[in-house]
Amino acid sequence: MASKVTPISGFQEWLPTERIAELIVLDTIREVFELHGFASINTRAMEPVDRLTGQGEDADKEIYGVRRLAAGPDDTGDVSLGLHFDMTVPFARYVLENAGKLTFPFRRYQIQPAWRGERPQRGRYREFIQADVDIIDEGRLPDHFEGELLLVVADVFSRLPIGDYQIHVNDRKICEGFYLGLGIEDVTGTLRIVDKLDKIGADGVQKLLLDAGCTPKQTDQCLALAEIRSEDTGFVEQVRALGVQHELLDEGLAKLAAVIEVANEHAPGVVVADLRIARGLDYYTGTVYETMLTRDPGYGSICSGGRYDALATDGKRTFPGVGISIGVSRLLGKLITEEGLTASRETPVAVLVAVTDEDSRPESMRVATALRSRGIPTLVAPKATKFGKQIQFADRRGIPFVWFPGEDGDEVKDIRSGDQVPADRATWDPPAGDLRPSLVVPDVSSSGRKPNDRK
């Protein structure tokens, strides 16, 4: 064996118990995505480098280039490849490549790792899992999908113990229409400055806007817009009160109001219209989303996205879409690493079959085969040690039941209560809650996290 064994900064690996917690979270996300009618796709880990860098943000992305070591330093025969840094670029490419074989509107989910070479920090990794849903159409995309995606996310989070959170929603058209109505011409530049509000504060934004040529009146109005928030459609009246008129503003307000109404009917209490949300990426053109944990908004968004009118185009056809991405690794960095979310055991095993002596191992294996055939994860004890030791073996792994094969009939022991009862290998089932490992949510008081009253 070569170099010494050390973790690599920015590359998270879980121990078995934490990995089970991660799997439960991933399974839940996938289940909800499928319930909402999204089909899975998986794209290769690599894209041509020029496709990855064609996204305008390459400086941030810190792409990992990939190259066959055997190719040698002077071999330029292969296309230059890099690891994808998100699911959006590969998905856009996949849609273009397979457009003739897909049915639109195409709803897909994609749960895969991505890689960015940036400096690792809290909630930011060099290898991380994202769980994306997008709805993409050919030509025109109906507006109602922008509200529908919120329901998917709210449904996912209602099934996970993530604590209180809010999805902050805005519509780019509101900002654009408002700025245009104010007579500001550089809409994108203004958006970019206002987007820094959380980082540099109102004074900082004011200064940048004035520097960019806005009048004091325009500057005040931009800041006033960014301060508007409401959990219902009250934001419409607040914006109207600022007295700015523009067709695009009207359109944006109506769209956002529709999104908030749908959300409040199907997922009350989790969405807030927040007119400061802009999202850095240029390609968003309608609704934009960001999601914060109430107990720690500074941790950053755990789920973001928006509508884009032309993410993928081959010159002839254009594919508008709306998508949202759950930052699974970031979320678990908070829940598992910082707060101690874990699983009820370190193995899927529900039953350990004891082995009386090595000669009777075949009989213990027959018990295991019978239990497995009925869907019960089962392990045969690795050694025919004393029963006390075999029970200890189960206990150490969190396995709740130990099975004792007997000539006069089998018995099963719940090692938590100590109860041991006769049992038939052909019919016995563990209580439903013990069949699979489950999430163990850390004690509220010790971690400082707020109780999750949405369960």
What is the CA 383 to chain-centroid distance, rounded? 42
Query: Mind giving me the DSSP string for 182-228?
Result: TT---HHHHHHHHTTHHHHHHHHHHHHHHHTT--HHHHHHHHHHHT-
Here the tokens at position 326 are 């759950």
Whether residue 229 is annotated as binding a ligand: the answer is no
| Contacts of its own copies in 94-153 (CB under 8 A) | 94, 96-98, 101-103, 105, 107-108, 113, 115, 117, 127, 137, 142, 144-145, 148, 151
| Contacts of its own copies in 361-400 (CB under 8 A) | 361-362, 365, 369, 372, 375-380, 382-383, 396-397
- Stretch touching its own copies by CB under 8 A, among 32-40, 166-174, 200-208, 317-325: 32-40
Q: How many CB atoms lie within 10 A of CB 247?
A: 11
Looking at the Cβ atoms of 51 and 124, the one nearer to its own copies is: 51
Q: Identify whether the C-beta of residue 22 lies closer than 8 Å to the C-beta of residue 13.
A: no
317 binds its own copies, rule: CB under 8 A: no
62 binds its own copies, rule: CB under 8 A: yes
Rule CB under 8 A: choose which of 300, 348, 430, 442 binds its own copies. Answer: 348
Looking at the Cβ atoms of 212 and 384, the one nearer to its own copies is: 384
Looking at the Cβ atoms of 285 and 378, the one nearer to its own copies is: 378
Q: Identify whether the C-beta of residue 135 lies closer than 8 Å to the C-beta of residue 149.
A: yes
Closest approach of its own copies to the CB of residue 48, in Å: 5
- Stretch touching its own copies by CB under 8 A, among 2-10, 233-241, 246-254, 276-284: 2-10
Q: Identify whether the C-beta of residue 159 lies closer than 8 Å to the C-beta of residue 28.
A: yes
Query: How far is Cα 204 from Cα 208, in angstroms, rounded to an integer?
Result: 6
Query: What is the 8-class DSSP label of residue 199?
Result: H
Radius of gyration for the chain, computed over Cα atoms and rounded to the nearest angstrom: 27
| x/- track of binding to its own copies for residues 240-279 (CB under 8 A) | ----------------------x--xx-------------
Query: How far is Cα 28 from Cα 31, in angstroms, rounded to an integer?
Result: 5
β-strand pairing of 342-343 with 378-380: unpaired
Closest approach of its own copies to the CB of residue 246, in Å: 25
Q: How many CB atoms lie within 10 A of CB 300?
A: 17
Here the tokens at position 116 are 């960015």
Looking at the Cβ atoms of 231 and 363, the one nearer to its own copies is: 363
Known binding positions: 86-88, 116, 130, 134, 279, 283-284
